[in-house]
Structure 1
Amino acid sequence: MNPAEFETLSATILVAIFLLAAALGFVMRETRFCTMGAISDVVYLQDWGRVRQWAMAVGVAMLGFTALALWGGLQVGDVLYASTRLLWVSALAGGLMFGVGMVLASGCGARNLTRLGGGSLKALVVLLVMAVAGFATLKGITAVARVRWLDGWQLEFGTLALLPELLARFAGWSVAASRLWLGLGLGGLLILLAFNPVRDAQRSRGALLGGALVGLCVTVAWWLGGRAAEVAEHPQTLEHVYATTYSGRIEAFSFVTPVAHTLDWLMFFSDSSKVLTWGIASVLGMVLGSLAHALWRRDFRWQGFADTRDLARHLLGAALMGMGGVTAMGCTVGQGISAMSMFSLGSFVAVTGIVLGAALTLKRLAALD
């Protein structure tokens, strides 16, 4: 591929992921898709409606990733989350921090992006602080603590730390068979569980459709990142890469590190080394999609903090989300849907931490009120 063709491909992929993220932001805002909201509904109201919505999204994404891995030519080993090591302490500790933070900050990174599109200045502050904390945990002062105290605790498997690969290794199956049965079994089970009856059938149908569309958006992102963006030989380095991704590997949706990279790109825009990437385009698309929805619904409203206590709580939550999201290598979308759709062991550990941290914080706040 010559340089001109590579530039054309990169521009096409960036436009595509921007539009796909805009669709995701529109759907999330329309259907109130929010992991923190789902956990709070269970803790406070014993309402499992939005948990079923999340289950639908994960189930659809699992089936989609399985199809792409088996028949779509997607190279599982090239995915960002594919590793032979499980950083279990980082995943658990980062998940706990993120779970606590998203409760204090009134939602995860994706939720705050959709709230920003609806006019929330609170969300803008949360995203800025989360970006700074996230970047510091990537390369700054808290990165030192992360590497020194957390990342050293790891399990080495000798094969990819993904359920299909491990099942194939210990059960004697082929990887393809393991992936097929796990995809159909677990993905199908989550979809079936999502269809449990609820009181409001019409609201349930809308929520489940929203979950299915979120899962479909993640699936399309896997195809864009893993097939459409694949370049056999980079025109300059001659390496096998995936165009526009920051890591050079296959990426889908995640909204902590990309928010940090977006702030870095905006701050150093004139620096030629700071280029527009997959993650940045997805962040900008999420905001535009939610803005389009707010204008369509005519419910765009400027919102600010109620008082200094409200501000302090959101600042702390944003910092915890930034540190936790980077430490766990993902958020409720990155680990909770994207990585989980490929059966990453780290995603199950991280999501356990997120749910536990959020539930304990919600119960603590309820006790204080």
Structure 2
Amino acid sequence: MTIAELASLTHQVLWAAFFVALAFGALVQRTGFCTMGAVADVVTMGDWTRMRQWALAAGVATVGFAFLAWAGAIDPSKTLYASTRWIWLSALVGGAIFGFGMVLASGCASKALVRVGAGNLKSLVVLVVLGVAAFATLKGITAVLRTRTVDRVGVDFDVQASLGAIAARAVSIDVASASLVLGVAIGAGLIAWALSARESRQFPNVLAGAGVGASVLAMWWVSGHLGFVAEHPETLQETFLATNSTRAEALSFVSPVAYTLDWLMFFSDRNKFVSVGIVTVLGVIAGSAAMAITQRSFRWEGFGGPDDLAHHLAGAVLMGVGGVTAMGCSIGQGVSGISTLSLTSFVAVAAMIAGAVLGVRYQGWRLERAS
């Protein structure tokens, strides 16, 4: 492959990622898919409809990823979530912090992007603060705290810290086969539970869950297959084009928001480059804006007062710190990470739900106290 061919392929990867994110943003704006809303519905009303949407998304992505890996279209050991170290404490602490923060900020990072596209200025402030906090946790002051505390605690395996690899070792079969069986079983179980309720089988709910899952799956293919180069013409090493992690990535929104701010602030720096994560951030906003304008639901919205601003700022900081510590957001770990059967992802998702439940109860306490 020549340098010119590599540049052309990089552009293809970036445009493909942008259009996947565009569809994702339009879909979430149209259907109201929301992880924070799903938890709040269960806690406050006992309504599991949006939680089933989330389960459907994770199920579709898990089944699809299992077949992509089994077919050799993507290597599970080379994804962002692949590691022989199970960083359970980072996932636990980061996930809980993120979950609580997304309630204070009225939604997770992906929801904030969608709301920005629909004219929500509160979410714009949330994204800027989230990005700064996330970058500090990637490379700044809170990164030092993270690496010296929770990241030091973990369990080291001699195989990948995923259900597929561990099961393969236990029953002495190849990882691809074990991952296929487990991925299909777990994914099908999630899908079956998601569709077990009558209201969940209504078209808008199926569209929301299946659409988000398909978007994650499409991004896995774009980054992990289309963007994979076995031998870079300059380094002669394999690489995944236009990824900040140099690994295969799917939809995730905390670190990408940080890298987007970094790219905008240092635009003239030739060392900065447009990555898959950056174009997904821009794509989600554009897709949401297009849908909001089409539906005539675009409107400007600001803060209700100092208290509202303070809680959103606190939530944004918590999401930035927690999302990086847990290696992903409610979509990044809750759908993309889960699809790889990563042990860290399962802990992170459980912690996010627990943190969100605590956040919803805190907000309820605030309302009762105010009244």
Measure the CA separation in 2 of the matches of 1:22 and 1:73.
23
2:190 corresponds in structure 1 to 190
1:350 aligns with 2:348: yes
Q: Sequence identity of aligned pairs in percent?
A: 50
2:231 corresponds in structure 1 to 233
1:34 corresponds in structure 2 to 34
Measure the CA separation in 2 of the matches of 1:231 and 1:205.
39
Shift of 1:152: 0.3
After superposition, residues 136-285 of structure 1 pair within 5 angstroms as 136-198=136-198, 200=199, 204-285=202-283
Measure the CA separation in 1 of the matches of 2:240 and 2:38.
34
Q: Which runs of 4+ in 1 moved over 4 A?
A: none
2:3 corresponds in structure 1 to 3
Letter in structure 2 aligned against 1:345:
L
1:108 corresponds in structure 2 to 108
> Could you say what secondary structure the match of 2:152 adopts?
coil
1:363 corresponds in structure 2 to 361
Measure the CA separation in 2 of the matches of 1:28 and 1:162.
29
Deviates more, 1:139-148 or 1:183-192: 183-192
1:22 aligns with 2:22: yes
Measure the CA separation in 2 of the matches of 1:286 and 1:365.
28
Measure the CA separation in 1 of the matches of 2:297 and 2:118.
7
Shift of 1:168: 1.2
Conserved 8 A contact 1:22-1:290: yes
Number of aligned pairs?
367
Consecutive unaligned residues in structure 2, runs of 5 or more: none
Measure the CA separation in 2 of the matches of 1:52 and 1:241.
36
Letter in structure 2 aligned against 1:276:
V
Write out per-residue CA displacement over residues 241-282 of structure 1, whole angstroms, 9 at most, x where no aligned residue: 011111211111100000000000000000001110000000
1:332 aligns with 2:363: no
> Could you say what secondary structure the match of 1:103 adopts?
helix
Measure the CA separation in 1 of the matches of 2:179 and 2:105.
37
Shift of 1:72: 4.0
Letter in structure 1 aligned against 2:290:
A
Measure the CA separation in 2 of the matches of 1:137 and 1:201.
38
2:94 corresponds in structure 1 to 94
1:67 aligns with 2:86: no
> Could you say what secondary structure the match of 1:211 adopts?
helix
Measure the CA separation in 2 of the matches of 1:197 and 1:237.
53
Write out per-residue CA displacement over residues 298-344 of structure 1, whole angstroms, 9 at most, x where no aligned residue: 01000000000000000000000000000000000110000100100
Measure the CA separation in 1 of the matches of 2:314 and 2:366.
17
Letter in structure 2 aligned against 1:40:
A
Write out per-residue CA displacement over residues 36-73 of structure 1, whole angstroms, 9 at most, x where no aligned residue: 00000000010000011011101100111011000143
2:311 corresponds in structure 1 to 313
Shift of 1:197: 2.4
> Could you say what secondary structure the match of 1:245 adopts?
coil
Measure the CA separation in 1 of the matches of 2:350 and 2:62.
18
Shift of 1:76: 1.2
2:135 corresponds in structure 1 to 135
> Could you say what secondary structure the match of 1:151 adopts?
helix
Shift of 1:27: 0.6
Shift of 1:175: 1.7
Measure the CA separation in 2 of the matches of 1:65 and 1:47.
29
2:320 corresponds in structure 1 to 322
Write out per-residue CA displacement over residues 190-246 of structure 1, whole angstroms, 9 at most, x where no aligned residue: 111111224x578x3311221101111111111111111111111221110011111
Measure the CA separation in 2 of the matches of 1:170 and 1:7.
43
Conserved 8 A contact 1:194-1:208: no
Shift of 1:365: 1.7
Letter in structure 2 aligned against 1:38:
A
> Could you say what secondary structure the match of 2:149 adopts?
helix
Conserved 8 A contact 2:98-2:355: yes
Kindly tell me: are residues 329 and 201 of structure 1, through their superposed partners in 2, closer, same or farther at Cα, counting changes over 3 Å? closer
TM-score of the aligned structures, taking structure 1 as reference length: 0.98
Shift of 1:154: 0.8
Q: CA RMSD in A?
A: 1.1
